[in-house]
């Protein structure tokens, strides 16, 4: 499960977040440590489109930005009861039973497909909060999202996160401030009922009943999305859990990706005391890059330990990746 309690203690010791949304998040974490009862949902809570200014948590700076082409793999965690009914970073009321997620830098709200690379389950989530502020995690899922992905019990999972550009742009266009500086608002998706367990997907080719239907994802399936805010919200509310083919994946700690071979070599040398780093040449979007990675590693816990050592060695942008 998400290690937000540990972060809360760090925040209480003096970390200050910049911006209104980040201050809301600070308050929520402080309350979770103090054991206070979560406040009821705010009657005025509504959706705001927000990117936000750079902010700092536990000595680490984060730089929010619009990214409609975001497509990353890594480790996801989940959060729920301690934050239920509190405001998210963009002013919505967090519902642990809704299919949402938190990301450190993506625009809010945005729509993303999240695929559990360990069991092939794939869902569409609404990103409306900031986090997780733990090294080696790329996404914090709501409890319901974790259930649908079949990862609630284990706490973390290897995932792929893909922003759905069209749907996300629809929300951005509807919610961005108008020329007068006012921020248009729309109602959030209706909250789900109580949290219930969700069984894992059946073998490929098999469908469940109407509730929690599982289908095999196929490129031949026609798209039936209408590009309106209402259609996007309906798609999330319907929440069809898909099953995609599972292929073997491994966990790596990536110290960095460099445009110059000599810079990558220097990082390899710097990490010699941590472990044997690999230098890989890759071609992405017409550019040649040199990745420095350690691994594969056997578990998320081992990746966390290596990541801490890599960051301590000077690779401040190091992260855990799945490949």
The residue ranges of the chain whose pLDDT is under 50 are 2-23, 25-45, 178-199, 203-206, 209-225
Identify the pLDDT of residue 233: 80
- For residues 273 and 285, the answer to whether their CB atoms sit within 8 Å is no
Q: Per DSSP, which regions of the chain are E strands?
A: 55-57, 60-62, 71-79, 100-102, 110-116, 121-129, 139-142, 157-163, 214-216, 241-243, 251-258, 278-284, 287-297, 319-322
Model pLDDT, residue 135: 87
Handedness of CA 165, 71, 198, 100 (dihedral sign): negative
Q: Which two tokens stand for residue 158?
A: 């290897």
> What does the buried/exposed string (b/e) look like for 22-44 if buried means 16 or more CB atoms within 10 Å of the residue's CB?
bebbbebbebbeeeeeeeebeee
Query: Contact 139/251 with Cβ under 8 angstroms?
Result: no
Give the per-residue pLDDT at 235.
Answer: 79
Domains and CATH numbers, the chain: 1-246 (2.40.40.10), 251-322 (3.30.70.1070)
Bridge partners for 87 per DSSP: 93
If one counts every other C-beta atom within 10 angstroms of the C-beta of residue 131, the result is: 23
C-alpha dihedral over 6, 249, 147, 11, to 10 degrees? Answer: 20
* pTM greater than 0.75 (yes/no): no
Structure confidence at residue 28 (pLDDT) = 42
| Token pair recorded at residue 51 | 């990117």
Cα 169–Cα 173–Cα 175 angle in degrees, nearest 5: 115
What is the per-residue pLDDT across 82-111, written as a single tens digit (0 to 9) for each? Answer: 999 999 999 999 999 999 999 999 999 999
Q: Are 132 and 77 in contact (CB under 8 A)?
A: yes
What digits encode the pLDDT tens for the residues 269-292? Answer: 999 999 999 999 999 889 999 999
Contacts of residue 13, defined as CB under 8 A and 6 or more positions apart, other chains included, come to: none
DSSP per position, 134-172 = STT--EEEEHHHHHHTT-TTTS-EEEEEEE-HHHHHHHH
């Amino acid at each position: 499960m998400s290690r937000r309690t540990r972060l809360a203690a760090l925040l209480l010791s003096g970390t200050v977040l910049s911006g209104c949304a980040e201050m809301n998040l600070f308050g929520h974490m402080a309350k979770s440590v103090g054991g206070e009862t979560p406040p009821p949902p705010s009657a005025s809570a509504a959706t705001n489109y927000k990117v936000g200014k750079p902010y700092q948590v536990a000595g680490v700076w984060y730089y929010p930005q619009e990214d409609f082409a975001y497509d990353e793999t890594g480790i996801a965690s989940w959060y729920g009861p301690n934050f239920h009914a509190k405001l998210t970073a963009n002013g919505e009321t967090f519902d642990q039973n809704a299919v949402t997620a938190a990301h450190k830098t993506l625009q809010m709200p945005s729509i993303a497909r999240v695929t559990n690379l360990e069991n092939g389950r794939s869902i569409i989530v609404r990103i409306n909060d900031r986090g997780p502020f733990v090294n080696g995690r790329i996404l914090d899922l709501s409890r319901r999202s974790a259930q649908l992905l079949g990862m609630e019990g284990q706490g973390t999972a290897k995932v792929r996160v893909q922003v759905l550009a069209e749907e996300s742009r629809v929300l951005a266009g509807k919610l961005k401030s108008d020329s007068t500086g006012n921020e248009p608002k729309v109602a959030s998706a209706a909250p789900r009922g109580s949290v219930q367990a969700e069984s894992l997907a059946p073998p490929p080719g098999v469908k469940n009943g109407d509730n929690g239907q599982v289908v095999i994802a196929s490129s031949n399936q026609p798209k039936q999305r209408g590009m309106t805010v209402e259609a996007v919200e309906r798609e999330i509310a319907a929440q069809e859990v898909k099953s995609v083919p599972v292929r073997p994946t491994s966990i790596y700690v990536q110290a960095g990706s460099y445009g110059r071979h000599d810079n990558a070599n220097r990082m390899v040398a710097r990490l010699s005391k941590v472990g044997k780093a690999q230098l890989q040449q890759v071609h992405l979007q017409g550019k040649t890059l040199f990745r420095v990675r350690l691994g594969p590693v056997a578990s998320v816990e081992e990746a966390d330990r290596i990541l801490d050592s890599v960051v301590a060695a000077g690779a401040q942008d190091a992260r855990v990746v799945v490949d």
